[in-house]
Amino acid sequence: MRDQTTPLAGLDPVTLAVLRGRLEQIADEMDATLYRSAFNPIIAEAHDACHGLYDAHTGDTLVQGKSGLPVFVGAMAFAVRAAAKAAEHRGGMKEGDTWLFNDPYEGGTHANDFKLVRPFFRHGKLFCYLASAAHWHDVGGAVPGNYNPAATECWQEAVQIPPVRIVRNGVLEEDVLAILRANTRLPDSLWGDLNGQLAALDLGVTRLHSLLDEQGDETVQSAMRELRQRALRLMRAHIGQLPDGTYAFEDVLDNDGVDDRPLTIALDMTIQGEQMTLDFSRTSPQCAGPVNISRATAVAACYVALKHVFPDVPANAGVLDAVNFVLPEGRVISAARPRPVGGYTETILRMIDVIFSATALADPKRAVAHAYGTINALSIAGHRTDAARKGQRWVMFSFFGGGHGGHADGDGLSHGNAPISTATIPPLEILEAAYPVRFTQWALRPDSGGDGEHRGGLGAVYEIELLEEQAEAFIFGERGKASPKGIAGGQEALPNVFEYQQDGLWQRPPMVSKMLGIRLKKGERVRLQTPGGGGYGDASLRSPAARAQDIQQGFVTPVSGKEGA
């Protein structure tokens, strides 16, 4: 064991690289522990969760895993600060405690995402925080699965839990657990997911103690400080390579689910030397429906976008140290309680899009055309009618894939997941095994990618048939009106199309991409045709060989159009 009292003047590059890998491995193992133990397929299969290590004094991100959702990691810095602030008035952070909450205005994202924060003590002193975030399947509210497109206040979306101790001095708080279980349609799923998160934090504590015993506290702390400084230096170097100036771009959301009017997400990105300013002042005011996001979520979205643009920068708070944020209060991207925020995914995807496009105006080679721009949150829920499970509640919630944008090095990815995360699309075999549904179609959507020198990736077609006697469906999507854009002269992709059967006829939602209360009978289907990605570069520069291959593989039809199928 290294002498922990000996100060270090610096770390050699090999030691720093080893410690970076060891720290990331701790977060990776925490991720894996939750994925393998969670009851909820959105965590277990789709990996809608994350873990990280956070600074003891500021709450800033120190380390994140490679498989957790980056947007969670960015938002969790705000969650750690919120838990620490709550603890100040209740005896302070204590060893053996774990704090839990889902407040999206303090901790970011939305109320399905439960954050657990555990102080990590070393020799009686707070060393850092370990934190876990995961999407719980159902936490009350008006709509099973909680993506309520008609919500006008947060209480219509889900139960609201402020920072509370779920574990006190190593003992689970049964009273808090009872409140949580009483506010869900799926108490067994909640219990399993909570235990998975607690187990992940337990493992993180064990692994971090082992690393500190081996390498020494000061050595590891020095590595954490140096990794943040390296991220800052690298960010400044990258920003300094962009031409000075202000680059403006704006895009829209279809509507907020309540008023059928577009909402603008506008960015003025200013480069001045090695400093970047992201100014969202021209963005629409906060709205009635649930596409608002909190400031914490907006900053986390910018973090994700910048990591896409500058992928070699270490993933920690240093990414943001070279960036100024202008997020005026009262905007869609800085909403306050009780404005609903359940559909946060759609808005942060549009924020990422405008950052990509503004970057393309400065240097097209660094940017990627727009991805498909919606997770298409679909929930189908009902009660079992078979004798063995008669009356049992079931809730199928899932998100779906689409095309990614073309870029300077090639075509976009077909049928990928949203660029806010490293999550995966739940396999149809898992969904069919867990719920009374059958996928009658799961295929690529021809012609859906934007044309260009490098074509956008293809979206997908999903068609789902109900096998139970009846159920209710809810859809929360985007990009039904405003298609994903190309960059550097590339063309836009096909828009999103959602349809559902009623009495043998296919219908489309009045709000195009959002609807609740779709009553399905046995044998009726819902169908999603998701957008592709935008194209990159002038379409006339695409090689004849590439075009021939597109047709041969069925990605593009010989005479392609841009209408939904």
Q: 180, 203, 232 — which closes off a domain?
A: 232
For the question of whether the overall pTM of this predicted structure is more than 0.85, the answer is: yes
- C-alpha span between 393 and 382 (Å, rounded): 6
Token pair for residue 180? 């949580």
Q: Please report the pLDDT score of residue 10 as a whole number.
A: 67
How many domains are contained in the chain? 2
- C-alpha span between 117 and 197 (Å, rounded): 10
> How far from 478 is each of 167, 339, 383, 423, CA to CA, in Å?
39, 19, 29, 19
User: What is the sign, positive or negative, of the torsion defined by CA atoms of 192, 197, 202, 207?
Assistant: positive
Q: Please report the pLDDT score of residue 560 as a whole number.
A: 53
Q: Is the pLDDT of residue 7 over 60?
A: no
Q: Is 454 a domain residue? A: yes
Q: Yes or no: say if 402 and 533 are a contact pair by the CB < 8 Å rule.
A: yes
Lowest mean pLDDT among 63-67, 207-211, 226-230: 63-67
Q: Is 420 a domain residue? A: yes
Question: Does 60 share its domain with 207?
Answer: yes
Name the H helices within 250-399: 295-309, 318-321, 344-362
Q: Is 252 a domain residue? A: no
Mean pLDDT of 363-388: 95
Q: Please report the pLDDT score of residue 297 as a whole number.
A: 95
* Residue 168, helix vs strand vs coil: strand
Report the length, in residues, of the chain.
565
Q: Is 494 a domain residue? A: yes
Q: 232, 265, 291 — which closes off a domain?
A: 232
- C-alpha span between 350 and 344 (Å, rounded): 10
Share of the chain above pLDDT 70, in %: 97
Q: 205, 232, 259 — which closes off a domain?
A: 232
Q: Is 356 a domain residue? A: no
DSSP string across 215-268:
H-HHHHHHHHHHHHHHHHHHHHHHHHTSPSEEEEEEEEES--SSS---EEEEEE
Q: Is 184 a domain residue? A: yes
Token pair for residue 189? 């799923």
Q: Is the pLDDT of residue 9 over 80?
A: no
Q: What are phi and psi of 431, to 5 degrees?
A: -65, -40
pLDDT digits (tens, 9 = 90+) for 41-70: 999 998 999 999 999 999 999 998 888 777
Q: Is 136 a domain residue? A: yes
pLDDT digits (tens, 9 = 90+) for 508-564: 999 999 999 999 999 999 999 999 999 999 999 999 999 999 999 999 998 754 334
Domain of 524, in residue numbers: 368-565
Q: Is 497 a domain residue? A: yes
